Amino acid sequence: MHTASLDTIYRALGDPSRRAMLQRLADGRSLTVSELAAPLPLAMPTVLKHLDVLERAALVSRHKTGRTVSVTLQPAALAEALAWLQRTETFWTSRLDRLATVVQPARPTEPHASEEEPP
């Protein structure tokens, strides 16, 4: 199995037409290229170029049976991209939480004598 780089995966996900293709494949069914292209306002050569990008990113695979080419989602690359996002989120959440404790002044638990209201 070919592992695509994160840059290649995210570049492939950067186009709305390619994301629409992936969304159509998300239920796990294989679709023919014609079925996949049907709702898209794109010419078939453009669809095929988009499929090339998705295949290089290991997001889809194509299988030929006779004259019919079917396309199947390969979720491993999406899982790899998601795992990177989760690690990044954990790192930055931790950093920002620590920064918040430094930047935000500590609230006093008891009012100072000068801040008390007169009786």
Domain ranges of the chain: 6-76
Q: At residue 94, does pLDDT exceed 90? A: no
Instruction: Find where tokens 């294989």 sit.
Output: 30
What percent of the chain stands above pLDDT 70? 83
- Cα distances from 113 to residues 69, 73, 76, 109, 119, in angstroms, run 80, 67, 62, 13, 13
Q: At residue 2, does pLDDT exceed 50? A: no
The whole-number average pLDDT for the span 50-58 is 96
| Whole-number Å distance between alpha carbons of 43 and 48 | 9
Bridge partners of 61, per DSSP, are 72
Q: Can you name the CATH fold of 6-76?
A: Arc Repressor Mutant, subunit A (1.10.10)
The whole-number average pLDDT for the span 63-69 is 94
pLDDT in the model for residue 1: 39
Q: Write the pLDDT tens digit of every residue in 42-53.
A: 999 999 999 999
Radius of gyration of the chain (CA): 25
